Structure 1
Amino acid sequence: MMKLNNKLIAIAASTLLATTVFAAEGKVAPLPKNIYNAKKDALDGGVTYKREKGSYTAYRVNDQSTKGVSFGRAPTANELKAWDADIMPDGTGLPVGSGTADDGESLYDKDCAVCHGEFGAGGKGYPTLTGGSLESLTNQRTCPGKDAPNRTIGSYWPKASTLIWYIRDAMPYAHPKSYSPDQMYAMTAYLLRENGVQIDGKDIEELNQDNFKKIVMPNEKGFYPNIDGPKGVENVRAFYKNPKNFGAVGTRCMSNCGKETVVKIGNEITAVVPAYSTLRDLPKVEAKGAVSEAQKLYEKSCAVCHKTDAMGAPAVGDKGAWAKVMGKGIDKVNHNAINGVGGMPPKGGAMDLSDAQIKDIVKFMVESSK
């Protein structure tokens, strides 16, 4: 990457130098004729333009030789193996291991429920992982009385390989890449089971690198065009050649526009929860007992890590953990909260909070843990 950046810097510098010299000497070449002579060969059915005679349409480009710019060395076989770590729908890249859905449930309760809710039902600001309806994906706002599309693992994701791949590389929060292959399979098995996904008509009890390839997701055929395989690019080109595939009634309009048929929404969905709204006001919070401002800020910005000890942070309510923290003295605790300590970024990442607000949150957590 550094080699590439050096190349870009070198090219940019040479472009600036060339432009300066041409301008100083008054030798800027005239733009070629037909600079907007486009070819309809873009992947999405649009157009591209030629780069010729030092120009790309009305923009100058650097056509100087890049000879002598270092591209670095070729990667070794082991380096390529380390980078080529994706998990593909055909099973390529799956780790060797095995895990049960029951073990995955225990792991989920420990690491995931704090964000995604019990049984994957959804948490504050984090995606809902279970439930949803395959039928809802076709709902539009022209269907009164119907819910908007509900996209979850079971109702939307076309390939299970995406799930285990994401779990491996990005989960659990604050400790990504910490799961063993067995834990990865266990977590995937649990989430698929909660979504009603089966293998050979039976609920998933255990997953491994062999039976994983038998998984057929409910929405596997719900995406088009087919972008997989050697014909993927041609499939996309063919799809975009027909405007009706993406909702257009007539042909694409690039000139003399305004005569095309316009389809207007006849009935808008009104039974969506929460209802569609263009208001930007925050919803009113009903008072449920005395809730301090510090507690509200804690729930919004700090609870994701401090609600349990799953993230490695002292959990609010854990007297022993906070007694140990307070052994450093309140001044040091406030200093660490404001400036960051260990894996915790300054202010826990909530940089919009003032130092005084952070101190109030710390006071709330300490008092709630006595």
Structure 2
Amino acid sequence: MMIKLNNKLIALGASIVASALLTTSAFAAQSKTEAAPAGMYKATKNALDGGVTYKREKGSYTAYRVNEQSTKGVNFGRAPTPNELKAWDADIMPDGTGLPEGSGTVEEGEALYDKDCAVCHGEFGAGGKGYPTLTGGSIESLKNQRTCPGKDAPNRTIGSYWPQASTLIWYIRDAMPYAHPKSYTPNQMYAMTAYLLAENGVKIDGEDIEELNKDNFKKIVMPNRDGFYPNVDGPKGVENVKAFYKNPKNFGAITGTRCMTNCGKEPVAKIANEITAVVPAYSTVRDLPKEDASKGAASSPAAKEYEKSCAVCHKTDAMGAPAVGAKAAWAKAMEKGMEKVNHNAINGIGGMPPKGGATNLGDDEVKDIVKYMVESSK
């Protein structure tokens, strides 16, 4: 089950919370001598999850005092201008609202992916160190629990899990590539989206995707479009969520009875298919795996720490950092002298944070890594 909160709902919720904070300020727990009489709380079944909320009365919200000071004279600001609303309302929706003008081919997207994305997400989106796998998987695997003999764990990728292609192009536009978000042109956005959809076997009208644009994008039907419930889109989205949660059978209670006390008496649905045999097998062992020198394992502490903390930006020049192995780039950097290069690595420079974000490293460890990168680039 997935609940989507778009910008408009978030803004509405924020305004409600702000008003509530201004009118109620901080809650202070009542002392035992001030406790409200039992039964005075009047419950209202209007919570989003089907539960209850309570009315504020007699200066209290259940067992908590509320601030009843006047908010007269509070300034809530001004109404936004049309241009301000237009700049804020920049989401890309499933119906095509917000899609830019432009086009891009799968071939163009593949070149972009190899340049900007493969270092993190692996070749063809097959997965990288610590970054999501983007391709492969199956919808059928989503039904698997993690202790079901002979079955893989759920594999959530773009093709097997994401219900709307609009989410993909929107995410690419606002958050990718790493370290340079919002740098893609509309044509590049379409190209990257086309490539990732093609690698996931997504088709348009039964035909392989070769090029994406504003018109044919709206025809995309993702394989798992109908795999989410309740339906949170449209004007009845909130009501659909409320209705779903009001029925406890939807989340495991067999008899449909809510339970807050003596819950052991309420039978709960058991997992039907639990996964126990997965590859690699689940383990609670905390030891690091043994290194296999035949697979090119890093041979020194500095090399290992480089792979762990620095390679994401320095493996290629896609992030704007000098790539390890790029002789010219490092020769130019070294014109400042090793002392200055070490100083920048430790204290940060430009878009690079201090120690590349690996603040657990000591200064000497950072210097060793810099020396390793320099020596590897001669």
TM-score (norm 1): 0.90
Q: 1:212-246: CA deviations, max 9, x gaps? A: 00000000000011111111112112212222222
Counterpart of 1:97 in structure 2 is: 102
AA aligned to 2:148 is C
Deviation at 1:183, TM superposition (A): 0.4
Deviation at 1:141, TM superposition (A): 3.5
How far apart, in 2, do the equivalents of 1:126 and 1:328 lie?
A: 34
Whether 2:218 is the aligned partner of 1:213: answer: yes
Whether 2:207 is the aligned partner of 1:202: answer: yes
Counterpart of 1:236 in structure 2 is: 241
Deviation at 1:12, TM superposition (A): 7.4
Identity of aligned residues (%): 79
In the alignment, structure 2 segments of 5+ residues that lack a partner are 1-10
Name the SS of the counterpart of 1:351 in structure 2: coil
User: 1:23-102 alignment to 2 at 5 Å?
Assistant: 31=36, 34-102=39-107
Deviation at 1:63, TM superposition (A): 1.8
Asked if 1 retains the 8 angstrom alpha-carbon contact of 2:173 and 2:184, the reply is: yes
Deviation at 1:13, TM superposition (A): 12
Asked if 2 retains the 8 angstrom alpha-carbon contact of 1:142 and 1:265, the reply is: no
Q: 1:284 to 1:51 in 2, by over 3 A?
A: farther
Aligned counterpart in structure 2 of residue 363 of structure 1, from 365, 371, 376 = 371
Counterpart of 2:153 in structure 1 is: 148
In the alignment, structure 1 segments of 5+ residues that lack a partner are none
Counterpart of 2:142 in structure 1 is: 137
Q: 1:255-305: CA deviations, max 9, x gaps? A: 333222255568742321222233444333334467000000000000000
RMSD value, Cα: 2.7
How far apart, in 2, do the equivalents of 1:313 and 1:105 lie?
A: 22
Aligned counterpart in structure 1 of residue 119 of structure 2, from 114, 119, 134 = 114
Name the SS of the counterpart of 2:100 in structure 1: coil
User: 1:322-361 alignment to 2 at 5 Å?
Assistant: 322-361=330-369
Whether 2:320 is the aligned partner of 1:312: answer: yes
AA aligned to 1:96 is E
Once the two structures are overlaid, the 10-residue window that deviates more, 353-362 or 289-298, is 289-298
Deviation at 1:143, TM superposition (A): 2.9
How far apart, in 2, do the equivalents of 1:61 and 1:280 lie?
A: 48
Name the SS of the counterpart of 2:170 in structure 1: helix
TM-score (norm 2): 0.88
Counterpart of 2:229 in structure 1 is: 224
Q: 1:51 to 1:107 in 2, by over 3 A?
A: same
AA aligned to 1:304 is V
Name the SS of the counterpart of 1:207 in structure 2: strand
Deviation at 1:56, TM superposition (A): 1.2
Q: 1:282 to 1:249 in 2, by over 3 A?
A: farther
